[in-house]
Amino acid sequence: MKKFITTLLIFIMSFPYTYGQDYGIGGVTTDDLFSGGNVILRKLMKRDYSEAEGSPYLNEEFTKGKIVFNNGKEYNVLTRLNVGTQKFEIKKNFNSPASLIDINESVTVQMNNKNYNLHSINLNNEQILAILEDCIELENISLYYFPRKAIKMPVETGATAPPTGFTKVPKPKWADASEFLILKDENWYAIPNSFKKLLSKNIFDPKLLKKYKKSNKLNIKKKESLIKMVTYFNSI
């Protein structure tokens, strides 16, 4: 039991957990999840996102997925990822209430033919826990996709007239903040949005990177292109 009560678990809610209650999908119960290892199932508390435009979810709709434990056990679920809170939610069926799951690094959630894991990463001198999509994991270099969103507040442009019945007050918005990450020599790097900035990070030898870009159609915004780049630099 002590194994999964670690700092790798993220706790958004302090709602008490009821043992033995069946939130199962295809026979999955809370006992199954505990015996599978390193998952805590919680009742989902509704959060009010009505003030913000957009959605905190990677995809609003629940989709078929799978929870995979490192002991080999697998369970089919309906799931979606809240990238605002970095939490997965699961359902028994499309009409049942949703539950929230806390996972640690030994658990994989499969969704839309992609694998997601919890990682403890140091990004911009800040230690955070993040749900990452595994793009490719190699011996020396690995590539991940960090899907996330953040609330973007309206920009105040100066003094305005008091709101009236005809005045539209700007609302905060969910803004995409997703990025690709590279893990190299136990260091995490965020892939910037320009090749010039990528060079300045010195993740790879600048001369070799320039040569690689010249010989290949490198697009640092495309996963497949980044996978090829990482594969190349891992091999040299």
Residues 56 and 121 in one domain: yes
Residues 95 and 185 in one domain: yes
Residues 215 and 118 in one domain: no
Quick one: which of 170, 190, 73, 66 has its CA closest to 125? 190
Q: Tell me, what's the pLDDT at 163?
A: 58
Q: Is 88 exposed, middle or buried (0-12, 13-18, 19+ CB in 10 A)?
A: buried
**Distance between CA atoms of residues 35 and 73, nearest Å:** 9
Query: Which residue type is seen at 9?
Result: L
Residues 127 and 199 in one domain: no
Domain presence at residue 177: yes
The residue ranges of the chain whose pLDDT is under 70 are 1-50, 156-169
- Quick one: DSSP state of residue 53? B
How many other C-beta atoms lie within 10 A of the C-beta of residue 183?
A: 19
**Distance between CA atoms of residues 209 and 230, nearest Å:** 11
Domain presence at residue 46: yes
Domain presence at residue 59: yes
Residues 184 and 201 in one domain: no
Residues 147 and 77 in one domain: yes
Residues 64 and 181 in one domain: yes
pLDDT tens figures, 202-225: 999 999 999 999 999 999 999 999
pTM equals 0.77
Residues 186 and 199 in one domain: no
Residues 179 and 233 in one domain: no
pLDDT tens figures, 55-97: 999 999 999 999 999 888 898 999 999 998 899 999 888 888 8
Give me 144's structure tokens: 């991940």
